[in-house]
Amino acid sequence: MTKEPKLPNHLFNGSNSQKVALITGVTGQDGTYLAELLLSKGYIVHGIKRRASQLNTGRIDHLYQDPHEENRHFILHHGDMTDSSSLIRIIQQVQPDEIYNLAAQSHVAVSFEEPEYTANSDALGPMRILEAIRILGLEKKTRFYQASTSELYGKVQEIPQKETTPFYPRSPYAVAKLYAYWITVNYREAYGIYACNGILFNHESPLRGETFVTRKITRALTRIAIGSQDCLYLGNMDSRRDWGHARDYVEMQWLMLQQEQPEDFVIATGMQYSVRDFVNAAAAELGMTLKWEGSGVEEVGIVVDAGPHGGARPGQAIVRVDPRYFRPTEVETLLGDASKAHAKLGWKPGTSFEQLVKEMVESDLAATRKYELVKKNGFVAHAYNE
Ligand code: NDP
Ligand code: GDR
């Protein structure tokens, strides 16, 4: 039997005052920004990645350190939210001061298609971690952050939504996250674990997954602007969201674990836009203007001014509605009131809606141009996400 190389103790326990954090979902949007933040604060950061048939570490490759290097600050472990054995083993080895539970099947529409898996990873997963903290006797050492969500409010009972607004989840994803929210509260009250929920409203970035609506829009419109795609198909154009920047939001995740007492916080910008508004803003960033004709499934976004990129033409229908993207139950409107975080955490959103859209469009435009260049020269594979 081959023995695993023994890593120096300081990698797991932290030396002197160096804090040790464990991030689940480290390969995701928030995991990446949070890992960068904690490393910049001098933490030793451990991340859990799940096994995939292809590498799934594209977002965090710039943080990677060779396992044979001495004094590593960023260490990855294979594990899965559906597998207690891996979670307990990793937490036992790492002995973290802080656990950020960001891992989840995070796509609302997909949760209608995979409700059981979504419950397993998003509801039971956090419980498995809290149980591991208890089983390992880490109740007084390890602080726990749960990635809760504005989807808990679902069919909205109050506008804007704050910590005291009643929940009414509208998808298997939101129902699973409701369990996670309450199990976090319960373990805090039952066992005195420093555990808290960040009820975060939508937050986006150039690292956002390509199937969430904002990234889907910025990616498609940049391709349309330079002529490598004809049309973008969307679902509910009237849906309204409170969109912030992921980079700003992970700072609040960290701050929530630095307080004297664990508490739950809403993080939101307090500003709301529709999906259509987002399309218009992204088009404007590309120098295009659109007019909207028809309504419901017949609605079409038509180019008025095609802008400077040369791929689109006036009169071209570049946005259409495809009912396949409608959800069996929709969350029509979300708007957060983050007054508590403002008062206690000093929260104020650092990035405006316009800046967010600009950053996402610029990033996708650069990626699209690179892809087209590489394609023109006959090398397509892997080019898009480089
Ligand atoms: P992403 O979808 O970008 O990332 C999810 C992460 O979880 C990925 O690293 C993914 O791995 C991992 N993951 C999924 N399933 C498992 C599993 N079974 N075991 C281990 N890891 C798994 O999400 P975000 O970064 O946007 O969001 C982070 C968290 O915050 C999620 O829990 C989400 O539900 C929640 N949230 C997000 C909001 C947002 O607007 N972004 C708002 C409110 C809450 P892989 O890379 O392999 O897919
Ligand atoms: P959401 O984000 O469901 O709010 O969950 P998403 O970007 O998927 O949808 C936002 C709204 O846009 C509407 N929509 C479309 N959505 C997608 N994905 N694709 C489309 O083509 C499309 N057309 C319209 C949706 O119906 C919806 O109303 C995100 C996730 O990050 C969750 O994990 C997180 O908890 C919440 O935000 C807060």
Query: Considering 142, 149, 165, 269, which one is annotated as catalytic?
Result: 149
189 as an active site residue: the answer is no
Cα(108) to ligand 2 centroid in Å equals: 7
Per-residue pLDDT tens digits for 117-152: 999 999 999 999 999 999 999 999 999 999 999 999
Does any ligand 1 atom lie closer than 6 A to the CB of residue 235?
Answer: no
Confidence (pLDDT) at 377: 82
Per-residue pLDDT tens digits for 214-258: 999 999 999 999 999 999 999 999 999 999 999 999 999 999 999
Confidence (pLDDT) at 381: 57
Q: Measured in Å, how far apart are the chain's first and last C-alpha atoms?
A: 38
Q: What ranges do the domains of the chain cover?
A: 15-200, 213-240+275-326+354-376
Query: Considering 98, 151, 204, 359, which one is annotated as catalytic?
Result: 151
User: What is the rounded CA–CA span in Å between residue 331 and residue 268?
Assistant: 16
Per-residue pLDDT tens digits for 280-320: 999 999 999 999 999 999 999 999 999 999 999 999 999 99
pLDDT band at 17 (very low <50, low <70, confident <90, very high): confident
Q: Does residue 378 surpass a pLDDT of 80?
A: no
Q: What is the pTM of this model?
A: 0.95
Pocket of ligand 2 (CB under 6 A): 106, 108-109, 149-151, 201-202, 211-213, 216, 234-236, 239, 241, 275, 325, 327, 330-331
To the nearest whole percent, how much of the chain has pLDDT over 90?
Answer: 90
Is 213-240+275-326+354-376 a domain of CATH 3.90.740.10?
no
Strand runs labelled E in the chain:
20-24, 44-49, 74-78, 98-101, 143-149, 195-200, 203-204, 232-234, 240-241, 244-245, 265-267, 273-274, 289-293, 300-305, 317-321
173 as an active site residue: the answer is yes
CATH number of 15-200: 3.40.50.720
pLDDT band at 380 (very low <50, low <70, confident <90, very high): low
